[in-house]
């Protein structure tokens, strides 16, 4: 990689950082589409500033962008409220109109000026290393400098005002009653988004900023439940998106901005599938394990009841287990391995260890039956099935409470409730 | 300017096809857009449009050169994929619909940009073909394209006409439709399918980024002019058609890109509707508010006057008014309800007395209704007295009147029996 | 029990033959036909059981109230019967048949809140929607449907508002339009979700009158009701629910302090804890 390449990668990273951090709050406040609207709506401001200052200069654009962002929110809010236009429709209306205005204004840019219409959509990050300015004697690309400043500013704001942001995201009304103006935070957030979008304009263009705003935050949402962790994870994911995107672009000879968005999407899907706690695969696996546990407990319960009634019902004769033969086989195997049951003269028996587990299951079942009999109006013959289903979920503390509630030692059918 | 007029009136043979095509496109998008806006799925069209770009690129890579039909097929495929992606994320993960939509738009569009760059860097890459999909270039529309557009337009219109009542109920009350046994998810799919097809067909003309404007803006504008669904759909289609024609003509005349011109035409029509439309427009609303405030102001004066003179049983006695009533007094005098008797004392005219009786009666009925019945339905502070009959059913009004009469508080015009006083303090705040 | 005039209901003085409306296994209800038979119904929302093994038979030709605290699953019960939410277990029959077979005879008044009242339709349009179930695909409402719709509007006192845009109606008027829509369905059984919520006194009286008229015509009305004070006055039969069925039966017998305490009191927090445990462990079996 040439030094130019390093600058490009750094610019990409410096773009992803503030976007992903701010994006967490957008996503949590369900303002992702508003963010999308803002990134479109700042275009006229950018073109105007470009035409006026003659270059892709910085400070007036940032200020103008912040204003444009707030204007978008205010305008679409006004149309929604006074025109009684649907929220999504007013957003779409405002941002497409402003974007159209921006594209038309692009046409006024004299051919001599270097603002290719395409770059609006996907930036010109490849050209970044060639537009440098001097910082402490070093030649630094302007875009990287701008983004660096924006990054530091955004990170500082988020760190300093973290608890205000958190409470406003969670419960804006509560925040207002506590003296934290939800409206101020709301508009400050939008202004920051607009500013970041403008600063990122050169790196990833107008439209792909939205991916950097939303994708790392959504990915982080799938990995953690705490806001602080989410912001940090989003930042890391954003950096990853930038690096991977850059590498892919170099390998496939394609656009860095485009590849960053693609990388962001792929990483999101991967995490959504594989995330241990919230991912799809994890959920499927957990559910399968649950079914297995239920089968095991059913086996234990049946064996216990067998010994009570001194019957010799084999597993396969028990009605509830008959339908899940393969699962039951697996359950029996696991229980044998765990030393909970043993197989002698062709029949299954509970071991000492197994007896303890079985007792707990049946105890839960019968305590729940007693509870239902007392507190709901289900007839006697309707008590068994619900308890069959619930017995697997009764935790130890719940069992304690049920025992206290039930008081007596026999279930409604007259069978003894096993001791703890 | 002459050029422009020639274009619009279809005298120019070259652009006739383009203008017709754009008008039909606007018609279709506007009509189906009305339903999707009412269904609160306004931005699905945006997602489909952005997702179309990678579809077009893939089609190009597969086919090898610029093939309109293949492009549209690719666009439709990826649009549907995008919609399915959003639905899957919404259903199976904790990510909400708005974030899922934004994510999908960004990723799919990014994929499109990445693919188009790869195509461009190929020696035979004909990027110009793809570029026109992004910003739209109606001028490149040929007769075959226009024919396709007209077929799509016909299908859309037919579907809306045939399934009018089904779509109406689906958009208004999905649960009720489901309780009737209708397959609501499939109807939703049909609606979204119509949106997707219109989007894809309009891409070459309007471009990916601005396609959403044709779906959303005509519908929003149409709503200002009517309260009836059928009229709204027709109007929305009309506005879409006009925007299409205007935008395309201006674009051809002034050599500007088509997509933005269509958007801005539609937006102008919307802006005009927003301001000017009777009843729902801003001007009408502001005027209505002012009228209400004036009426309420006058009524407050009349009430104060009546109550000030009630004790003396001569409604035409003079009374002194307080400072806060000055604006209302001026209006009341202008309407011939009040005369100025002295420097600081005023008097009700005969007409004023009649009106005052009506106002006080209505006010006391309202008060009674609110305090006695503690209704949840009324929450308006500055109720116009004339509204009484509109909001409360007649039986209720008659019953309340009877109650007031029994308490001796029902005001009547002079000439009938005199009725003694009011409940609250006279001369206090009205 | 008052004698009924309709031939297929048996008088209580006769020995009871098995009534064809009763499903096998259900507890017979003294020769009354069963309108709705709910058998071991469980409904989960986001993996947590909201209704749990609810088993109840609701007799026909009654005004039935469903009461219970917030979050007790009252609306969910109606939605489950109407097939609007999926059942995790159990089944429901209406007049002994599945929902699909009796759809034409089932009327529904949903909650007002979930509709956008700024939609561009007038009151008559909304009431006509009640006729859609009988029209089938593509066909438009005809003169007869219009007449029925106007009749329904008149019966709720809204005939003069037929052309009024719905956003200009008050809350009570909107509720009456919804009721008229259900009446236009010409059903045998009506399900209503909080029909009295947020309406003015006049509307409340109108609704009660309509309901009583329906019952006297032999129809069944099952309504989620939030106001305990008026249960005794408005309804004959009550279903008391708190995630599970607490009690069900004629108001005079069942609507007692004891049952109210069981429904609204804190005893059933154990139920909630168990539901939470189920959810955390991975949820109700789909």
Nearest CA in chain A to B266: A97
Mean pLDDT to the nearest integer, B120-141: 72
In this structure, the number of other CB atoms found within 10 A of the CB of residue B389 comes to 11
B112 domain-assigned? yes
Chain-centre distance of CA B120, in angstroms? 43
For position B380, what pLDDT does the model report? 45
The answer to which of A239-248, A388-397, C23-32 has the lowest mean pLDDT is C23-32
Residue A82 in contact with partner chain B when CB distance is under 8 A: yes
Neighbours of A134 (CB within 10 A): 8
Is B21 in contact with B141 (CB distance < 8 Å)? yes
pLDDT of amino acid A243: 95
Please give the Cα distance from A295 to A292 (Å, whole number). 5
Contact A407/C at CB under 8 A: no
Closest-CA residue of chain B to C131: B180
Contacts of B282 in chain A (CB under 8 A): 82-83
**Distance of residue C277 Cα from the nearest chain A Cα, in angstroms:** 6
Among A244, A39, A29, smallest CA distance to A122 is for A39
* A379 contacts C27? CB cut-off 8 A: yes
Q: Do A272 and B103 touch (CB under 8 A)?
A: no
B28 is a domain residue: yes
User: For the sheet containing C237-242, what is the strand order?
Assistant: C106-109, C189-193, C220-224, C63-67, C237-242, C244-250
pLDDT digits (tens, 9 = 90+) for B178-213: 999 899 989 998 998 899 999 988 888 888 888 999
Other Cβ atoms within 10 Å of C62 Cβ, number: 20
* B217 closest CB neighbour out of A93, A103, A253: A93
Query: Which chain B residues are within 8 Å of C103, Cβ to Cβ?
Result: 180-181
Contact B112 A258 (CB under 8 A): yes
- Contacts of C19-25 spanning 24+ positions with Cβ under 8 A: C20/C96, C21/C60, C21/C95, C21/C96, C22/C57, C22/C96, C23/C93, C23/C96
| Separation CA C150–CA C162 (nearest Å) | 8
Q: Percent of chain A beyond pLDDT 70?
A: 92
pLDDT of the residue at A198 = 84
- Contacts with A, B 268-297, CB within 8 Å: 270, 274, 280, 282, 285
Q: What is the distance between the alpha carbons of residues B48 and B39, in angstroms, rounded to a whole number? A: 16
Same-domain check for residues B173 and B294: no
Answer whether residue B43 is part of any domain.
Answer: yes
As a whole number, mean pLDDT of residues A198-217 equals: 86
Q: Are B233 and B160 in contact (CB under 8 A)?
A: yes
* pLDDT, position C128: 94
**Last residue in a domain, options B177, B212, B247:** B212
pLDDT of residue B143: 81
Partner residue facing B377 (CB), from C115, C157, C199 = C199
pLDDT at A248 over 90: yes
Residues A82 and C267: their CA atoms lie apart, in Å, by 49
Q: What are phi and psi of C61, to 5 degrees?
A: 55, 40
Tokens 């009938």 -> residue:
B416
pLDDT at site B379: 45
Show residues of chain B in contact with A265, CB under 8 Å.
103, 106-108, 110-111
User: Residue A350: helix, strand or coil by DSSP?
Assistant: strand
Within this chain, do residues B61 and B206 fall inside the same structural domain, yes or no? yes
Rounded to whole angstroms, the Cα distance separating B78 from A274 reads 25
pLDDT score recorded for residue B266 = 96
Chain A CA closest to residue C266? A375
Please check whether residue B67 lies inside any domain of the structure.
yes
pLDDT at site A235: 96
Nearest CA to A348 out of A309, A388, A391, A302 is that of: A302
End position of a domain, from candidates B146, B181, B212: B212
Same domain, B40 and B162: yes
Nearest to C172 among B172, B178, B377 (CB): B377
Residues C247, C259: Cα–Cα separation, whole Å? 7
For the stretch C139-164, pLDDT in tens is 899 999 999 999 999 999 999 999 99
Whether residues A280 and B93 touch (CB distance < 8 A) is answered with yes
Which chain A positions have a beta carbon within 8 Å of B115's beta carbon? 254, 258
Residue C157: CB partners within 8 Å, gap ≥ 6? B393, C176, C206
Whichever domain contains B118, its CATH number is 1.10.3470.10
Confidence of residue A408 (pLDDT cuts 50, 70, 90): low
Does residue B429 fall inside a structural domain?
no
Measure the CA–CA gap between C105 and C150, rounded to whole angstroms: 20
Q: Would an 8 Å CB–CB cutoff place B378 in contact with chain C? A: yes
What does the block give as tokens for C101? 């077979």
Residue, of B322 and B422, whose pLDDT is higher: B322
SS (H, E, C) chain C: CCCCCCCCCCCCCCCCCCCCCCCCCCCCCCCCCEEEEEEEEEEEECCEEEEEEEEEEEECCCEEEEECCCCCCHHHHHHHHCCCCCCCEEEEEECCECHHHHHHHEEEECCHHHCCCCCCCEHHHHHHHHHHHHHCCCCCCCHHHHHHHHHHHHHCCCHHHCCCEHHHCCHHHHHHHHHHHHHHCCCCEEEEECCCCCCCHHHHHHHHHHHHHHHHCCCEEEEECCCHHHHHHHCCEEEEEECEEEEEEEHHHHCCHHHHHHHHCHHHHHHHHHHHHHHHHCCCCC
Taking residues B215-220, report their average pLDDT.
95
Interchain contact B103–A (C-beta under 8 A):
yes
- CB contact under 8 Å between A290 and C262, yes or no, is no
pLDDT of residue B222: 96
Could you tell me if B85 and B208 lie in one domain?
yes
Q: Does C181 touch chain A (CB under 8 A)?
A: no
pLDDT at B70: 87
What is the pLDDT at residue A332?
85
Residue B218 in contact with residue B48, Cβ under 8 Å? no
pLDDT attached to residue A112: 59
> Least CA distance to C113: which residue of chain B?
B173
Final residue in a domain of this structure, among B212, B240, B273: B212
Residue B167 belongs to some domain of the structure: yes
Q: Is residue A417 less than 8 Å (CB to CB) from chain C? A: no
Q: What's the pLDDT at B373?
A: 57
Please choose, from the candidates B326, B340, B351, B325, the residue with its C-alpha nearest in 3D space to the C-alpha of residue B430.
Answer: B325
How far C139 CA lies from chain B's nearest CA (Å)? Answer: 8
Q: Same domain for B296 and B169?
A: no
Provide the 3-class DSSP secondary structure of residue A135. strand
What tokens does C60 get? 């026909």
Q: How far is A166 from chain C (nearest CA, A)?
A: 25
Q: How far is B301 from chain C, CA to nearest CA, in Å? A: 28
Nearest CA in chain B to C200: B375
Q: A266: number of CA atoms within 13 Å, CB side?
A: 14
Q: Write out the residue range of the structural domain in which residue B325 sits.
A: 288-406
Retrieve residue B393's tokens: 């059913």
Q: Which chains does chain B touch, 3 or more C-beta pairs < 8 A?
A: A, C
Identify all chain B residues contacting C133, using CB atoms and an 8 Å cutoff: 180-181
The minimum CA-CA distance between C204 and chain A, rounded to whole Å, is 30
At A163-188, the pLDDT tens digits run: 888 888 888 888 888 887 888 888 88
pLDDT of residue B77: 93
Per CB-CB distance under 8 Å, the chain A contacts of C40 are 382, 385-386
Q: Which residues contact A33 (CB under 8 A, 6 or more apart)?
A: A88, A91, B43, B98, B101, B102
pLDDT at C285: 54
Which position has the higher pLDDT, A96 or B130? A96
Number of A/B CB contacts below 8 angstroms equals 200
- Domains identified in chain B, total number: 2
Mutate to test the interface with C, among A292, A369, A375, A406 (most CBs of C within 10 A): A375
Residues B204 and B297 in one domain: no
Q: Could you say which residues of chain C have pLDDT below 50?
A: 1-31, 286
Residues A342-388 pLDDT 10s: 877 777 788 888 888 888 888 888 888 888 887 777 778 888 888 88
CB contact under 8 A, B375 and C200: yes
Dihedral, B295, B297, B301, B304 alpha carbons, nearest 10: 110
Please check whether residue A258 is in contact with residue B57, taking contact to mean a CB–CB distance below 8 angstroms: no
Torsions phi, psi of B183, nearest 5? -80, 85
* B323 domain-assigned: yes
pLDDT tens, residue by residue, A38-65:
888 888 888 877 777 766 556 677 777 7
In-domain check, residue B178: yes
Q: What is the pLDDT of residues B27-83, one digit of tens each?
A: 999 999 999 999 988 888 889 999 999 998 999 888 877 777 888 899 999 998 998
| SS3 track for chain B | CHHHHHHHCCCCHHHHHHHHHHHHHHHHHHHHHHHHHHCCCCCHHHHHHHHHHHHHHHHHHHHCCCCHHHHHHHHHHHHHHHHHHHHHHHHHCCCCHHHHHHHHHHHHHHHHHHHHHHHHHCCCCCHHHHHHHHHCCHHHCCHHHHHHHHHHHHHHHHHHHHCHHHHHHHHHCHHHHHHCCCCHHHHHHHHHHHHHHHHHHHHHHHCCCCHHHHHHHHHHHHHCCCCCHHHHHHHHHHHHHHHHHHHHHHHHHHCCCHHHHHHHHHHHHHHHHHHHCCCCCHHHHHHHHHHHHHHHHHHHHHHHHHHHHHCCCCCCCEEECCHHHHHHHHHHHHCCCEEECCCCEEEECHHHHHHHHHHHHHHHHHHHHHHHHCCCCCCCCCCCHHHHHHHCCHHHHHHHHHHHHHHCCCCCCECECCCCCCCCCCCCCC
Model confidence, pTM: 0.81
Contact A72, A98 (CB under 8 A): yes
Find chain B residues with C-beta within 8 A of A88's C-beta: 37, 40-43
From the list A147, A108, A93, A102, the residue with the least C-alpha distance to A121 is A102
| Rounded Cα–Cα distance for residues A155 and A167 (Å) | 18
- Give Cβ neighbours of residue A1 (< 8 Å, ≥ 6 apart): A9, A250
Q: In this structure, what DSSP letter does residue A84 have?
A: -
Q: How confident is the model at residue A201 (pLDDT cuts 50, 70, 90)?
A: confident
B341: domain CATH number is: 1.10.10.10
Considering only CB atoms, B175 lies closest to which of C110, C172, C200, namely: C110
C262 touches chain A (CB under 8 A): yes
- Looking up tokens 């069900």 gives C248
Mean pLDDT of chain A: 84
B32 CB within 8 Å of a chain A CB: no
């Amino acid at each position: 990689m040439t030094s130019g390449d390093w600058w490009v990668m750094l610019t990409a990273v410096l773009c992803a950082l503030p976007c992903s951090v701010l994006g967490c709050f957008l996503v949590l406040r369900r303002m992702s589409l508003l963010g999308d609207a803002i990134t479109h709506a700042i275009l006229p401001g950018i073109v105007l500033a470009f035409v006026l200052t003659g270059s892709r200069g910085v400070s007036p654009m940032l200020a103008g962008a912040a204003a444009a962002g707030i204007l978008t929110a205010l305008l679409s809010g006004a149309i929604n409220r006074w025109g009684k236009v649907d929220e999504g429709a007013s957003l779409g209306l405002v941002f497409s109109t402003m974007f159209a205005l921006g594209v038309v204004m692009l046409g006024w840019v004299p051919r001599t000026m270097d603002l290719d219409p395409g770059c609006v959509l996907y930036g010109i990050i490849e050209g970044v290393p060639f537009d440098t300015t001097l910082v402490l004697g070093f030649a630094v690309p302007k875009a990287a400098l701008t983004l660096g400043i924006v990054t530091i500013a955004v990170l500082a704001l988020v760190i300093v005002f973290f608890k205000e942001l958190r409470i406003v995201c969670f419960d804006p009304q509560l925040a207002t009653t506590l003296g934290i103006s939800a409206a101020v935070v709301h508009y400050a957030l939008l202004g920051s988004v607009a500013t970041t979008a403008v600063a990122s304009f050169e790196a990833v263009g107008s439209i792909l900023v939205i991916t950097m705003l939303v994708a790392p935050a959504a990915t982080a949402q799938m990995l953690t439940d705490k806001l602080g962790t989410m912001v940090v994870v989003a930042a890391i994911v954003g950096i990853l998106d930038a690096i991977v995107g850059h590498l892919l672009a170099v390998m496939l000879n394609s656009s860095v901005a485009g590849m960053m968005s693609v990388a962001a999407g792929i990483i999101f899907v991967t995490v959504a599938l594989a995330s241990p706690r919230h991912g799809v695969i994890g959920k499927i696996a957990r559910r399968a394990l649950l079914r297995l546990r239920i089968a095991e407990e059913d086996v234990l319960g049946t064996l216990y009841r067998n010994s009570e009634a001194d019957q010799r019902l084999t597993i396969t004769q028990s009605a509830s287990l008959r339908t899940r033969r393969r699962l039951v086989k697996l359950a029996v195997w696991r229980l044998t391995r765990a030393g909970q049951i043993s197989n002698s003269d062709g029949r299954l028996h509970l071991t000492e260890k197994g007896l303890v587990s079985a007792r707990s299951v049946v105890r839960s079942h019968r305590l729940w039956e007693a509870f239902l009999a007392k507190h709901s109006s289900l007839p006697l013959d309707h008590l068994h099935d619900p308890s069959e289903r619930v017995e697997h979920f009764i935790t130890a503390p719940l069992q304690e409470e049920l025992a206290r509630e039930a008081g007596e030692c026999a279930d409604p059918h007259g069978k003894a409730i096993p001791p703890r | 300017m002459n050029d422009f007029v020639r274009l619009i009136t279809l005298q120019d043979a070259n652009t006739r096809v383009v203008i017709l095509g754009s008008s039909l496109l606007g018609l279709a998008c506007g009509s189906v857009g009305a339903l999707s806006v009412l269904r609160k799925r306004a931005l699905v069209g945006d997602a489909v449009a952005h997702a179309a770009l990678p579809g077009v690129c893939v089609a190009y890579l597969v086919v090898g050169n610029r093939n309109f039909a293949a492009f549209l097929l690719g666009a439709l495929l990826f649009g549907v994929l995008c919609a399915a992606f959003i639905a899957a994320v919404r259903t199976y993960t904790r990510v909400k619909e708005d974030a899922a939509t934004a994510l999908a738009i960004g990723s799919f569009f990014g994929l499109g940009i990445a693919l188009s760059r790869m195509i461009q860097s190929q020696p035979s890459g004909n990027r110009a073909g793809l570029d026109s999909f992004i910003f739209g270039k109606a001028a490149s529309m040929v007769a075959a394209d226009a024919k396709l557009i007209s077929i799509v337009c016909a299908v859309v219109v037919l579907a809306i006409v045939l399934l009018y009542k089904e779509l109406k109920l689906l958009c208004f009350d999905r649960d009720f439709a489901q309780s009737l046994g209708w397959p609501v998810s499939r109807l939703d799919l049909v609606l979204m399918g119509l949106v997707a097809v219109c989007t894809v067909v309009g891409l070459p003309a309007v471009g990916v980024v601005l396609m959403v404007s044709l779906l959303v803006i005509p519908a929003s504008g149409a709503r200002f002019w009517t309260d009836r669904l059928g009229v709204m759909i027709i109007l929305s289609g009309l506005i879409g058609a006009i925007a299409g024609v205007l935008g395309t003509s201006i674009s051809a005349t002034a050599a500007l890109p088509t997509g933005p011109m269509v958007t801005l035409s539609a937006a102008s029509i919307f802006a005009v509707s927003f301001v000017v439309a009777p009843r729902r427009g801003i001007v009408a609303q502001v005027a209505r508010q002012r009228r209400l405030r004036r009426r309420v102001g006058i009524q407050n004066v009349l009430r104060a006057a009546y109550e000030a003179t009630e004790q003396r049983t001569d409604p035409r006695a003079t009374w002194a008014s307080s400072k806060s009533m000055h604006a209302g007094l001026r209006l009341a005098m202008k309407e011939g309800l009040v005369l100025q008797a002295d420097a600081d004392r005023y008097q009700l005219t005969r007409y004023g007395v009649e009106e005052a009786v009506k106002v006080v009666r209505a006010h006391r009925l309202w008060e009674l209704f609110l305090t006695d019945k503690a209704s949840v339905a009324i929450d308006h502070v500055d109720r116009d007295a004339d509204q009484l009959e509109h909001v409360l059913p007649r039986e209720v009004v008659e019953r309340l009147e009877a109650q007031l009469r029994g308490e001796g508080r029902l005001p009547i015009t002079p000439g009938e029996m005199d009725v003694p006083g009011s409940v609250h303090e006279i001369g206090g705040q009205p | 029990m008052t004698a009924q005039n309709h031939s297929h209901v048996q008088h209580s003085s006769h020995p009871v033959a098995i009534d064809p409306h009763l499903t096998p296994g259900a507890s017979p209800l003294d020769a009354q036909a069963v309108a709705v038979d709910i058998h071991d119904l469980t409904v989960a929302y986001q993996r947590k059981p909201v209704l749990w093994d609810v088993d109840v038979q609701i007799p026909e030709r009654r005004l039935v109230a469903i009461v219970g605290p917030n979050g007790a699953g009252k609306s969910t019960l109606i939605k489950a019967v109407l097939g609007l939410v999926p059942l995790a277990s159990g089944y429901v029959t209406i007049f002994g048949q599945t929902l699909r077979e009796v759809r034409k005879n089932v009327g529904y008044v949903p909650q007002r809140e979930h509709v956008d009242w700024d939609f561009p339709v007038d009151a008559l349009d909304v009431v006509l929607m009640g006729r859609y179930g009988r029209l089938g695909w593509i066909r438009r409402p005809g003169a007869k449907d219009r007449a029925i719709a106007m009749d329904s509007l008149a019966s709720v006192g809204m005939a003069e508002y037929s052309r009024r845009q719905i956003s200009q109606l008050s809350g009570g008027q909107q509720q009456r339009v919804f009721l008229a829509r259900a009446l236009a369905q010409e059903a045998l059984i009506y399900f209503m979700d909080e029909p009295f919520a947020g309406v003015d006194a006049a509307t409340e009286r109108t609704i009660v009158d309509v309901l009583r008229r329906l019952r006297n015509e032999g129809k069944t009305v099952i309504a989620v009701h939030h106001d305990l004070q008026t249960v005794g006055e408005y309804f004959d039969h009550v279903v008391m629910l708190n995630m599970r069925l607490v009690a069900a039966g004629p108001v005079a017998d069942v609507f007692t302090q004891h049952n109210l305490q069981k429904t609204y009191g804190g005893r059933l927090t154990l139920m909630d804890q168990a539901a939470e445990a189920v959810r955390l462990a991975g949820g109700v079996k789909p």
